[in-house]
Structure 1
Amino acid sequence: MSKGQLALVLHAHLPYVRSENPTSLEADWYFQALIECYLPLLELLEESHAAEDQFPHMTLGISPTLLSLLADKELQERFQPWVLLRLDLLKEAPPQLYNAANHLSKRIKKQLLHWQSINGDLISRFSFLQKEGVLDLLTCAATHGYLPLLREHPEAVRAQLLTAVREHSRLIGSPPLGIWLPECAYYEGLDKLMYEVGLRYAVLDGHGLLNANPRPRYGIYAPICSTKGVAFFGRDAESTFPVWSSREGYPGDSSYREFHRDLGWDFPKEKLQEIGINEPRPLGLKLYRVTGVSTPLENKAPYEPDLASSLVKDHARDYLQGRKSQLKQLKTSMVVNPLLVAPFDAELFGHWWFEGPEFLSELFRQAPRENISFTRLVDSLSNSPRLQLSDPSPSSWGQGGYHHYWLNETNAWVIPEWSKAGKAMIECCDRFNGIGGEKDRLLRQAARELLLAQSSDWSFILRAGTTTQIAKERIHRHLQRFWSLVNAANDKEDLSDSLLLRFENEDCLFPFVDPRDWTPMRN
């Protein structure tokens, strides 16, 4: 094997998009990611693990909100009808798209059979792969809260972390050692809170390590350890660029499937209304290829599956050879074996880049021939006898490298709302700490609503300018519910049992959430 290793790190996350409406856009977000990304990812890992000549190792973060969706029995019951409806719609694709529609139909049916064979239980399968040494499962902040913008009240950050660790332990069966920090965002002192809740390592963008104090001897090519006892890995841009760039990387090739052209935009309104959808929108039925990055959507050519599949093999080989060249060059100037850390959003593989899961499968298949060794972050730490002591720099992997994407003219208004609600939660939990009974029930639901309001996804959507109405509605809904619950706990407002039950049924994640996580942190 080559001197040095490659660590693929995938972050699987969706906000808590549970909806009472089975035909909602939020339901589409979840079910599309499930059939395009999470099921194919599980399948390729299990198949690679079963192959005698392959050695798949990967680090996978699964956010607590995504775990909650995966474990939701009602959503599991809705999944098959959702899939069958898509299969019916594919039958109505235009004749020139027959091959592409037939290919997608077979893919969907295969994943549905996979789903049925495991009784919809992806969580236990991922957990098993961790026990087998294939996966290293990370947690995330409870609702993907952007932690640097919650730091005014350290208790709010602590509650995000404690809730995450508790939920991961409950559903995975063992406590997490590592965390994917939301948006890889870090601020000074966060490592102390991480250490106190049992978290020992995380991934940062490259400048989080390159600007660390003191500057690490090996830059991003070896983990560092902060003075508070938490290890940090740095993203290697050279290892990620060929995969994540839709214009200059592999996904932008003319033969791959086009993400933005969807049959949902082509069906007549009357047809969509028959199935409970009021306006045209993507339905996860994409039958065209990129053709050219500047080609207008209406001029895209039909997708050709065989052509794309052949290209995946070439791109996987090119990627591995690029990493081998990197490692060879790095080894000439490093005393320790270099480590390339390649972190991605998991949804890139299959959802955004349709051929992504096949690409990953090819990486594991071809790696032995290219003398590339994959590793998990936890194994890398176990095999590193000594880490350089260095405190990472505040950073994120968002646009600009710091906090601008989540703090700007489109979304800054929510930060004082988080602050006021966080302060009220801390004061209320301090007053009624461990009181039990009805007030405890009110505070538990208030905790859920506060956590949900803090999701960075809504701030991201507001900045991106897509589906902003959903983002605003979610933020306002959770904050309004929070204040009703806290006011009821403080005897300032009456809240009927029926309304409380409605809140609990609709926002029913984190069954073991604990209001004591918000009790004041006193020195």
Structure 2
Amino acid sequence: MNGPSPNKNYLGRLAIVLHAHLPYVRKNEKNSLEEDWLFQAILECYIPLLKVMESSKKQDACNTKLTLSLSPTLLSLLKNKQIQKKFSSWIKTRIEFLSDLPHEEQAASEFLMRNIKNNYLYWEECNGDLVERFKNLFITGNLDILTCAATHGYLPILRENPETVLGQIKTAIRNHELIFGARPLGIWLPECAYYENLDEILCNCGIRYAVLDGHGILNGSPRPRYGVYAPICSKKGVAFFGRDSESTLPVWSSREGFPGDPVYREYHKDLGWELSSTELQKKGITTSRPLGLKFYRITNNEASLGKKEFYKEDEAIKKIEEHSDQYLLSRSKQLKNLSLSSSFDPLLIAPFDAELFGHWWYEGPRFIENILRKSIKYSIKLTNLKEILLNKPNIQICDPSPSSWGQGGYHNYWLNDKNAWIVPKITKAGSVFVELSSRNFNDAFSIRLLKQAARELLLSESSDWSFILRAGTTTELAKERIDRHLFRFWKLIDMLEKRSIVDFKFIEDIEEEDNIFPEIRIEDWQL
């Protein structure tokens, strides 16, 4: 790295990197659980983060810098007009639930009602087009927007057919360029997972930088001189930034970090679990599920859900101020120690799932707001990944190590006895598709079938389903999703090769439901 400037008025730099992603959860049915995931994330996470960024930018554009990955599946959902229309009725149903509460609970949930209405007002002001708001922040340079693999496929599992990795990356790049008008230079590798020579595929696709877990940097070859406190560059020409565990643990850990504080909102006590099936069905919800309506506080980690106390917003606001100061003071001390021991400009990379801020940790967006507002006070310069590389630092040449940001830095969370059965299924489908994509199909109908088969293959490769199977939550849904997309894939392939059994109704139905990536190209699966 370049040495520090003699006129530098900060101790070092902090780059907060947020990864916003949801699997493609569009479903042709009313009040689906999958769409609940999206709508809760919009209400609790994406809108609050946008509001924080836009408000902070007005006050201090220079120090309002973040890096944000928007996965192609999430972008497709956010841009979908049908989903945008559904969101309004979803919000109104939640408002009705809160309005029907008994007096005491209604008073306790007043903060929630107010915030829901304010966020919905924001939604209406931008006509439901959140992506355009993100794009504006990208244009001004406040946001560095990264892409991700097309459907968040776990790339090390797909490596047996390198063309399937290529299909994930190229489809993502084309989708990003279509939406933002510029090809992405950076990528969030799904689960920060890396394997040997992946950088060559990334470089050939025009990707110039990515985020890895600390293991991927610290076990690099040769071992990086500055550890995770400076980027490295592979021999193929891709820069990699490593996660700093000291900068992330206080934020993401509910046990050892801030989110577990007793005054913060309790995530698990949701009104949806409290209401009877009759009360839910009156609003068109057929099964018990979380509604995204939570107005109790953690109280203490030992308290059962039945003994949680009502949430007090003023106490939570006071505590988030304390925690943001505590976080910045710790980063300031960390950067000061790094500056004393080395002749370089230290950099802290703090990557998180974006949904942590607001959805899992309700106070999270306010925490980000405080970091943006207070960092200068602690002599910390906020930056984003693109800005770092635009300053043309001298970067050490190192090849990163295979790794992920799963426990221990390994791949076992996405490849174990609960989900390994997926691998031969998607590998076989990938092999067949790669072979078919290399044939010279010239007729429009064959190309139509191949394009939809490519979508179904991509959707079956999503790492979300492996994660859910390992975690043990909604496992039936995950199995159903994998089986659904692979069934559709094989039926399309069968129709391609046996024209006598063409089912046009089937084709039209899945084209309407799985209408992701309109710009998909079969040649993207060709090395």
TM-score where L is the length of structure 2:
0.97
Deviation at 1:131, TM superposition (A): 1.1
Match of 2:166 among 145, 152, 158: 158
Q: Determine the C-alpha separation between the residues in 1 that align with 2:131 and 2:426.
A: 31
The aligned runs of 1:322-471 (5 Å cut-off) are: 322-433=330-441, 435-471=442-478
* Paired residues of 1:99 and 1:304 also in contact (CA < 8 A): no
Q: Does 1:507 align with 2:477?
A: no
* Paired residues of 1:127 and 1:172 also in contact (CA < 8 A): yes
* Paired residues of 1:168 and 1:174 also in contact (CA < 8 A): yes
Q: Determine the C-alpha separation between the residues in 2 that align with 1:288 and 1:280.
A: 19
Q: Determine the C-alpha separation between the residues in 2 that align with 1:254 and 1:269.
A: 30
* Paired residues of 2:98 and 2:109 also in contact (CA < 8 A): yes
Q: Determine the C-alpha separation between the residues in 2 that align with 1:177 and 1:317.
A: 33
* Paired residues of 2:266 and 2:297 also in contact (CA < 8 A): yes
| Paired letter, 1:96 | E
| Paired letter, 2:473 | T
Q: Determine the C-alpha separation between the residues in 1 that align with 2:102 and 2:394.
A: 61
The aligned runs of 1:120-135 (5 Å cut-off) are: 120-135=128-143
Between 352-361 and 51-60, the greater mean CA deviation after superposition: 51-60
Between 370-379 and 141-150, the greater mean CA deviation after superposition: 370-379
Q: Determine the C-alpha separation between the residues in 1 that align with 2:392 and 2:336.
A: 19
Match of 1:169 among 161, 177, 183: 177
* Paired residues of 2:69 and 2:187 also in contact (CA < 8 A): yes
Question: Equivalent residue for 2:96?
Answer: 88
What do the CA deviations read for 1:415-472 (whole angstroms, capped 9, x no partner)? 0001110011011111235x24100000000000000000000000001110011100
Match of 1:17 among 25, 31, 34: 25
Question: Equivalent residue for 1:144?
Answer: 152
* Paired residues of 1:406 and 1:456 also in contact (CA < 8 A): yes
SS at match of 1:392: coil
* Paired residues of 1:63 and 1:142 also in contact (CA < 8 A): yes
Deviation at 1:273, TM superposition (A): 1.5
* Paired residues of 2:214 and 2:243 also in contact (CA < 8 A): yes
| Paired letter, 1:439 | S
The aligned runs of 1:11-160 (5 Å cut-off) are: 11-52=19-60, 55-160=63-168
Q: Determine the C-alpha separation between the residues in 1 that align with 2:494 and 2:360.
A: 43
Q: Determine the C-alpha separation between the residues in 2 that align with 1:400 and 1:338.
A: 25
Q: Determine the C-alpha separation between the residues in 2 that align with 1:483 and 1:407.
A: 24
What do the CA deviations read for 1:320-367 (whole angstroms, capped 9, x no partner)? 111100000001122220000000000000000000001111111112
Between 387-396 and 266-275, the greater mean CA deviation after superposition: 266-275
* Paired residues of 1:177 and 1:201 also in contact (CA < 8 A): yes
What do the CA deviations read for 1:468-501 (whole angstroms, capped 9, x no partner)? 1110010000000000111111226623222101
Question: Equivalent residue for 1:228?
Answer: 236
SS at match of 1:67: helix
Q: Determine the C-alpha separation between the residues in 2 that align with 1:175 and 1:272.
A: 45
What do the CA deviations read for 1:66-115 (whole angstroms, capped 9, x no partner)? 00000000000000100000001012334333333111001000011000
Q: Does 1:264 align with 2:237?
A: no
SS at match of 2:153: coil
Q: Determine the C-alpha separation between the residues in 1 that align with 2:88 and 2:188.
A: 31
How many residue pairs get matched?
Answer: 519
* Paired residues of 1:127 and 1:173 also in contact (CA < 8 A): no
Residues 1:363 and 1:500: Cα distance change in structure 2 (over 3 Å):
same
SS at match of 2:438: helix
**What root-mean-square deviation, in Å, do the aligned CA atoms of Structure 1 and Structure 2 show?**
1.1
Q: Determine the C-alpha separation between the residues in 2 that align with 1:93 and 1:325.
A: 48
Between 18-27 and 282-291, the greater mean CA deviation after superposition: 18-27
Structure 1: unaligned runs, 5 residues or longer: none
| Paired letter, 1:465 | G
Q: Determine the C-alpha separation between the residues in 2 that align with 1:62 and 1:480.
A: 28
Q: Determine the C-alpha separation between the residues in 1 that align with 2:290 and 2:500.
A: 42
| Paired letter, 1:157 | V
Residues 1:253 and 1:54: Cα distance change in structure 2 (over 3 Å):
farther
| Paired letter, 1:231 | A
What do the CA deviations read for 1:112-142 (whole angstroms, capped 9, x no partner)? 1000101111111111101111000000000
Q: Determine the C-alpha separation between the residues in 1 that align with 2:378 and 2:508.
A: 57
4+ residue segments displaced more than 3 Å: none
Structure 2: unaligned runs, 5 residues or longer: 1-8
Q: Does 1:290 align with 2:298?
A: yes
Question: Equivalent residue for 2:493?
Answer: 486
Question: Equivalent residue for 2:313?
Answer: 305
Deviation at 1:287, TM superposition (A): 0.8
Deviation at 1:52, TM superposition (A): 4.2
| Paired letter, 1:406 | W
TM-score where L is the length of structure 1:
0.98
Q: Determine the C-alpha separation between the residues in 1 that align with 2:393 and 2:513.
A: 48
Question: Equivalent residue for 2:13?
Answer: 5
| Paired letter, 1:70 | L
* Paired residues of 1:96 and 1:302 also in contact (CA < 8 A): no
Between 211-220 and 363-372, the greater mean CA deviation after superposition: 363-372
| Paired letter, 2:456 | E
* Paired residues of 1:428 and 1:490 also in contact (CA < 8 A): no
What do the CA deviations read for 1:134-192 (whole angstroms, capped 9, x no partner)? 00000000000000000000000000000000000001121100000000000001000
Residues 1:287 and 1:436: Cα distance change in structure 2 (over 3 Å):
same
Residues 1:493 and 1:345: Cα distance change in structure 2 (over 3 Å):
farther
| Paired letter, 2:502 | L
Match of 2:525 among 501, 518, 521: 518
* Paired residues of 2:61 and 2:142 also in contact (CA < 8 A): no
* Paired residues of 2:403 and 2:410 also in contact (CA < 8 A): yes
| Paired letter, 1:229 | G
* Paired residues of 1:225 and 1:388 also in contact (CA < 8 A): yes
| Paired letter, 2:222 | P
